[in-house]
Structure 1
C-alpha cells in the first residue's frame, strides 16, 4: 500500500501547474510589500536569513529533503530564529528549544493556529485534530479528548496495556521476523479497545488495515512543499482533468481511505450499542452522553463523538509505534545497553514474572532507555508547523502575523551541549547517581510539541513505551541479523521521510533470553485470558 501511495504522490507532484508560477508570483510580490510596510511601521527588522531572490523570495532555499539537517545549517549560520519568504509566505525557523519554548509555549495564545491547508479539506482529513485551525471546533474536541487521556485517566488503561503487551511478546516469540508489524498491531489493538471497544483479529483485521492505510495517506498528503495548491489555494478550483489538476485525483482517492479509517470502527460501535453488546469505550461514552439530545444538536454531538474516537488513536499510538520500532534498531546496534538493562531488570523484577507499571520507579535505567529512544531518532522531525495569529516581536525581530513557524525538533535532539555524541544511543546521559538527572533536558519536553498544540496522548504514549521497553528487554535478546554466509548485517540508522518518520525496514535476530523466559511469556498469556 505504501509503495503505491508513494508512486501516486510522485505522479501528483509531477503534475503540479508550474506554468502558473509567473502569474501567481505577482501575488507574492504584493504580500511581501505588505509585510515590509507593517514591519517599517513597527520599527523592527525581520530575523536574519538567506538573501531572497526577486519574485520567488526564498522558495529555492526551502529544502525538500533532510529538512531537519538543512534547517539546522541555516540556524548555525544565521541564529536561532531564521526568516524565509517562500513566494510571499513568511516562514520562521526556530533552531533551539529555548526559542520554541518562548514563542510556542509561553506565547501559545498567538501561536496555536495551523497553516490553512487545502489538502486537509480535499483529501479527507478535515476532521483531524492536529491540522484543525485554532478555534471553537478545535477547543471542543480537545476538551472531549482530555477526559479520556489526562494523566489520571490514563491509569485506568494499565491492565489493558499489560494484557496487550503480553500478547505482543507471544507474537514476537512465535514470529520474531515480523517484529515491525507486531509493534503496529499491538498498539492498534490497544487503541481500538480504548476508542471503540473492538477486539481486533490476530491477522488481516480490517480495522487495523484501515488505520494503517489512513496513516500512510496522512504521512504523504502533508509533506511540506509536495503540493503547490498549499501555497496557492486558488488552484483548488481547477478541474481534476485540467493540466496541473492531478493533485485532485489523488486527493479523491485519499479521501476514501481517510474517511474509512474514521467511520468504519465508529459504525461498528454504534451497531454494537444497538444490539446491546458494546464494550466500554470512548465512542460508547460520548454517544451515551449525546443520547438525551435531539435533531441537529444530536447530529453535532455524533460528529464530535466520531471524530474524537478516531483522534484518540492518533494521540496515543502514532509516534509510539515509530519509537518502539526505533528501539529495536537501537538494541541491534548497541548491545551494551541490553546488558545494563537486564542487570537492572534481573535485580528488580527477577526471573519469575514480567515487569509491570508498579516497577517503574525502581527501573531508572529502563526509563532512561525509553527517553533515549524518543531522542535518538526524531519521530516528527519538524513537529507540525504552527501559525502566528498576530504580529509579534522576539529579541528585536519582527514576526509577521500569518507566519509559518517551524520548530526544528530534529535539531533540538542533536544539541551537542545537552546531548554529547548525539548519534550514539546512550541512556546513561539521563542518569546521575542511579537516578534520572533533572539537569539533562527530558526529550518529552519537545518531542510531543509545544503549548496548546502539545500532543494530548503523550501520557498514554509514555506509559506504553516504558512497558514495552521493559518487557522486551526482560524476555528477549536482540542482535544484528546474519546473512547466509554467517556475516553480521549491521542495521543502518535511517528513517523514512514524511510528517511522521519510521525506521527504514531492517532485519535483526530476536530470541528469548532463555527457555525460562519463553515459558514465562506462555504462562503470562494463559493468565491474561
Structure 2
C-alpha cells in the first residue's frame, strides 16, 4: 500500500526529530556529565514517571541511585538531591549560582501576573520583595504583633479537640488558616468562611502545579488565568475599610499598605496581592500538616509523648493548672525538639520548588550545564539513615543539641539556601504552641484495628480523617481547664 504524502511528511519529520535528539544528546554527553539518569521515553523523558506527590517515589529512587539522580522532563533536566551533604554543598555553599528559578510561563506569567516571588529568578526584584517580607515578618516588633493571634487561636484549637475529637483534622485546618489570616489580614477565619474556601481551593490546585513538575496548567488549570486578583483584592478592600474606620488590627497587610503609602516599599498592586497570596499558601497548609503529623507520631510512638507531657507537667502543673504559653519556650526545649522532629520526620513539602543553576559548574566529577534544575528530595533527606539514625522512628531527642538555636537547623522543611521560607518564624511558632497545648491536654492512642501508615501522604486530606486515632482529655481537670479558656 502506497503511503500518502502527509504520512510520508510525518515519517520524515519524526526521523528528523529523532536524529536531532540523538545528535544533541551525543554533543551534550561529550561536554557534560550528570548523576545517574532514570530511564525514560524518547523526547518526553521522565515526564510521565514522576508522580505527585513524589515523596515515597523519590525515596525509592534515592535508595536505588544514591545521593543524586537525574530526570529528563521534556526539554528540561532536573537533578534530585538526596542527602544533607549534597544539598548543603550545592544549594547553600554555592547559593550564588544555585538560587535562581526555571522559567515557568504558565505558573508565573499567566497564573501570577509575573509577580509571584516564589517563582522569580535570582534578581533585584526578587531581593527587594524578600527584604520587605523579612522586615515585616521577622523584624523586632513581629513577635509582639503575631503571638497574640497564635495564643488566641490555640485556645480554640484545644476547645475543638475536646468537643469534636473526630474532627481533629478540620480543627488543625481552622487553627492554621485563622492564624495566617490574622497575621496577613488582621481577621479570624472559620472553616465555613466562603471567601477562605475559595482561597484554599486555589491553593490546593496551585500547590499541585508548583510541586509536580509534570502538571500542565494550560490543560488543567486554565481558570487560574483570572486569579488571584479578584480573590485577594476582596480581602485588601475589606481591610482598607477597617483601616478607615479605625478598627483594623496590626497585621502584615496594614504594615505593607502603610509602607507603600509612605514610599518605603515600591510595589505594584499585583505584586502586593501576590505577596499576600504567597504568605497564605505557605502559612496555612504547612502548619496544618505539621500538627496533623505530630498527632500521628504521638499515637504511633507514645513514649516520646509521655516524655513531653512530663516536661509540660513540671512547668504548667500536674493537675492542669494552666495552658503552656510562649513565655515558657526557654524552659521547654523538649517541645522545640518535638517541633523539629515533626518537620524532619514527614516533610510537608515532599520535593522542593526547583532551583536553577545560572552557570556551568563542576562538582565531584560531574559537570552541570547552566539551566539545570535542582530539587531537594525531602523524603529521601528525612529518611537518610546516615543523617538520622533509626530515621523512621519519631525521636525528638535527636534534636536536643545545637540544632535548637535556630528554627532552620536540622531539617529542610522551610527550604534551603537563599530560597528559605521567609515566614519560618511564624510557621515554627504555630506548630510549637499547638504541640505544647495539645500534648499537655490530650492523650492520643492508635487504633489497633487501623494502624497509622505514616509513610502515606496526609497533607491533601481536607475532607476526611487522614488516619484513625483516639483522642481524649488526660483528665477531667484538663477538660475543665479547656472549658475555662
**TM, length-normalised to structure 1:** 0.79
Among residues 116, 119, 124, which one is paired with 1:128 in the alignment?
A: 116
Is 1:272 the counterpart of 2:261? The answer is no
* Cα distance in structure 1, aligned partners of 2:229 and 2:126: 19
Cα deviation digits, residues 188-219 of structure 1 (max 9, x gap): 1112122111233x451133313321221112
1:251 aligns to 2:233 (yes or no): no
Query: How far is the alpha carbon of 1:255 from its aligned partner?
Result: 4.1
Whether 1:224 and 2:208 are equivalent positions in the alignment is no
1:153 CA displacement: 4.4
Match of 1:325 among 281, 289, 292: 292
Structure 1 CA distance, aligned partners of 2:403 and 2:209?
40
Shift in CA distance, 430/275, structure 1 to aligned 2, threshold 3 Å: closer
Partner of 2:456: helix, strand, or coil? coil
Q: Residue 161 of structure 1: which of 119, 141, 150 is its match?
A: 150
**Cross-structure match for 2:434:** 468
On the 8 A contact 2:211/2:351 being kept in 1, the answer is no
2:310 is aligned with 1:343:
yes
Per-residue CA distance 1:342-392 (angstroms, 9 max, x = gap): 111111221311111222222232222212211111211111111111111
2:223 and 2:271 mapped to 1: Cα distance? 24
CA contact (8 A) 1:416 1:422 kept: yes
Match of 2:98 in 1: 111
- Partner secondary structure for residue 427 of structure 2: helix
2:425 corresponds, among 459, 465, 479, to 459
Post-superposition shift, 1:76?
4.3
- Write the deviation string for residues 411-437 of structure 1: whole angstroms up to 9, x where unpaired: 110111232222222223334xxx667
SS at match of 2:454: coil
Match of residue 233 from structure 1:
none
Matching residue of 2:4: none
Separation in 2, partners of 1:86, 1:254: 23
Which whole-Å CA distance do the structure 2 matches of 1:373 and 1:479 have between them? Answer: 17
Residue number in structure 1 paired with 2:200: 212
1:89 aligns with 2:67: no
Q: How does 1:390-405 map to 2 (within 5 A)?
A: 390-405=359-374
TM-superposed CA distance for 1:125, in Å, is 7.2
Helix, strand or coil for the counterpart of 2:221?
helix
CA distance in 2 between counterparts of 1:451 and 1:32 reads 36
How many Å apart are 1:97 and its aligned residue?
Answer: 1.3
Contact 1:55-1:87 at 8 Å conserved across structures: no
List alignment gaps of at least 5 residues for structure 2.
Answer: 1-9
Structure 2: distance between partners of 1:312 and 1:208: 14
RMSD: 3.5
Whole-angstrom distance in 2 between the partners of 1:101 and 1:29: 39
- What whole-Å deviation, never above 9, does each CA across 1:473-517 have from its counterpart, x for those lacking one? 111112235xxxxx743232243388x799971232222111211
Whether contact under 8 Å (1:115, 1:385) holds in the other structure is yes
Matched, 1:50 2:20: no
SS of alignment partner, residue 93 of structure 1:
strand
Question: Would you say the 8 A contact 1:172–1:179 is kept in 2?
Answer: yes
The aligned counterpart of 1:179 is 168
- 2:255 is matched with 285
Secondary structure of the 1:198 match is coil
Equivalent of 1:492 in 453, 462, 465:
453
Query: d(CA) in 1 for partners of 2:110 and 2:77?
Result: 24
Mapped contact 2:382–2:411 kept (Cα < 8 A)? no
**Secondary structure of the corresponding residue to residue 69 of structure 2:** strand
Asked if 1:376 is matched to 2:349, the reply is: no
Q: Give the corresponding residue for 1:408.
A: 377
- What number of residue pairs does the alignment pair up? 470
Q: Which residue of 2 aligns with 1:367?
A: 336
Structure 1 residues 471 and 255 mapped into 2: Cα distance closer, same or farther (>3 Å)?
Answer: farther
Uncovered stretches (5+) of structure 1, i.e. residues with no partner:
1-19, 230-246, 482-486
Among candidates 473, 478, 482, match of residue 517 of structure 1? 478
Aligned to 1:234: none
Shift of 1:398: 0.8
Is the CA contact 1:332–1:480 (under 8 Å) kept in the aligned structure 2?
A: yes
The answer to whether the Cα contact below 8 Å between 2:228 and 2:273 also exists between their aligned partners in 1 is: no
**Other-structure match for 1:354:** 323
Deviation readout 1:24-61 (Å, 9 max, x if unpaired): 99679757856765775xxx641231376784374379
How far off its partner does 1:394 sit?
A: 1.0
Q: Give 1:22 deviation, angstroms.
A: 10
CA distance in 1, matches of 2:236, 2:417: 30
Q: Is 2:415 aligned against 1:449?
A: yes
CA deviation profile, 1:423-466 (whole Å, cap 9, x unmatched): 222223334xxx66789x97654221111111111111112211
* Alignment check: 8 A CA contact 1:122 1:251 kept: no
Structure 1 residue 78, shift from structure 2 partner: 4.4
Is the Cα–Cα contact under 8 Å of residues 340 and 410 in structure 2 kept in the other structure? yes
Moved more, 210-219 or 375-384: 210-219
**1:67 aligned residue:** 54
Relative to structure 1, the CA distance from residue 466 to residue 517 in structure 2 (aligned partners, 3 Å threshold; closer, same or farther) is: same
SS in structure 2 at match of 1:489: coil
Q: Partners of 2:426 and 2:455 in 1: how far apart?
A: 26
Q: Match for residue 5 of structure 2?
A: none
User: What is the TM-score normalised by the length of structure 2?
Assistant: 0.85
Q: Once the 2 structures are TM-superposed, how far is the Cα of residue 186 of structure 1 from its aligned partner? A: 1.1
